Amino acid sequence: MASISSQIGNAQSTSNSEIAVSLNHIGVYVTNLKTSTTFYENILNLKQIPEPFHDGRHTWFTLGAAGHLHLIEGEKKELVRDKNDHLCFSVKSMEAFIANLDKYHVEYTNWPGTAKEPTVRPDGVKQIYFKDPDGHLIEINNDTSVR
């Protein structure tokens, strides 16, 4: 049986709109839905949308054209999370976003871990990193190329 990578390597590269994918949602497992919902509303300014389960274990947020973010209560233990495993959002004003983090006393760092100092990528984009209540890493940057 051929491996999937060899099958892909042998397949012709064609665009097929029937199987093209687009982001629908990102699910994030959390320990306390109320705490995490408040965090994502206040810190990331996300807007809730109706969710179909009505079981008290889900909060859905819109991410605009990108899709949704679903918080799902149930995570039982804290996991060690690598910095490369993160959600990333772009903002118009890094300064305004940092002021909001400061307002809510949310600690943030640059990529190497220096507190209260953005990383500046070679292309000039500024980045900061912080954790949600469950330790999920979130990157905020001012990259305007994806808007």
CATH of 22-77, one of 3.30.720.120, 3.40.50.1370, 3.40.50.10320, 3.40.50.300: 3.30.720.120
Delimit the CATH 3.30.720.120 region(s) of the chain: 22-77
What residues pair up with 141 in beta bridges, in sequence order?
Answer: 90, 127
108 CB neighbour count, 10 Å cutoff: 19
pLDDT confidence of residue 16: 86
What gap in Å lies between CA 83 and CA 131, rounded to an integer? 10
pLDDT confidence of residue 80: 81
pLDDT confidence of residue 144: 84
What gap in Å lies between CA 26 and CA 71, rounded to an integer? 9
pLDDT confidence of residue 89: 96
Tokens linked to 59: 């909060």
What residues pair up with 58 in beta bridges, in sequence order?
Answer: 72
Please write down the HEC assignment for all residues of 68-87.
EEEEEECCCCCCCCCCCCEE
Q: Superfamily assignment of 78-147 in CATH?
A: 2,3-Dihydroxybiphenyl 1,2-Dioxygenase, domain 1 (3.10.180.10)
Cα separations (Å) of 137 from 66, 105, 115? 19, 16, 15
pLDDT confidence of residue 50: 97
104 CB neighbour count, 10 Å cutoff: 10
Cβ pair 82, 135 in contact under 8 A: no
What gap in Å lies between CA 43 and CA 103, rounded to an integer? 9
54 CB neighbour count, 10 Å cutoff: 8
pLDDT confidence of residue 11: 56
Delimit the CATH 3.10.180.10 region(s) of the chain: 78-147
Cβ pair 46, 69 in contact under 8 A: yes
Per-residue pLDDT in tens (0 to 9) along the chain, 147 residues = 566 665 555 555 567 888 888 889 999 999 999 999 999 999 999 999 999 999 999 999 999 999 999 999 997 877 788 888 999 999 999 999 999 999 999 999 999 999 999 999 999 999 999 999 999 999 999 998 865
pLDDT confidence of residue 12: 57
